Amino acid sequence: MTRILLVTPDKANFSELSAEIEKQGASVSWAASGSQALGTLAETAVDLVLTDETLGDMSGLEFVGRLVATNPMINCAAVSSLSPGAYHEATEGLGILMQLPPCPGAVDGQRLIAHLNQVMGLTGPTNN
């Protein structure tokens, strides 16, 4: 089973997304801050970490920077309201799997799981 850690101080921001992720067969766990997530990840393995844009104790991108400094192979996705170009500049070198919009919904959850499955080798390109 795919394990996903959602990092947000407000679970309502990810309510539709988390419901879709669970519908797709993945398990969801939660952390309310960047510090809490870093502590959880030091003790628990997950397949993907998805961070909100602001976490209260740090920005989502700052959290990803800290996380990849200790675990460079972890799959991350981040919510960001930056334009695609500004996002690319801000995240270059962090290896973030994908950018999600603020308050991502069910369609974003479907895209995220499909992309994660492809990266993890659980599905491949379709052959017609």
The pLDDT tens digits of the residues spanning 76-123 come to 999 999 999 999 999 998 989 999 999 999 999 999 999 999 998 876
76 within some domain = yes
87 within some domain = yes
103 within some domain = yes
Residue 36 has pLDDT above 90, yes or no: yes
The total domain count for the chain is 1
128 within some domain = no
65 within some domain = yes
pTM tops 0.85, yes or no = yes
126 within some domain = no
Q: 29-62 in b/e burial notation, b at 16+ Cβ within 10 A? A: eebbbbebbbebbeeeebbbbbbbbbbeebbbbe
Please give the Cα distance from 104 to 88 (Å, whole number).
19
75 within some domain = yes
The domain in which residue 86 lies consists of 3-119
CATH number at residue 84: 3.40.50.2300
127 within some domain = no
Region of residue 47 (left: phi > 0; alpha: psi -120 to 50; beta: else)? alpha
The answer to whether 113 and 21 are in contact (CB under 8 A) is yes
pLDDT band at residue 127, thresholds of 50, 70 and 90?
very low
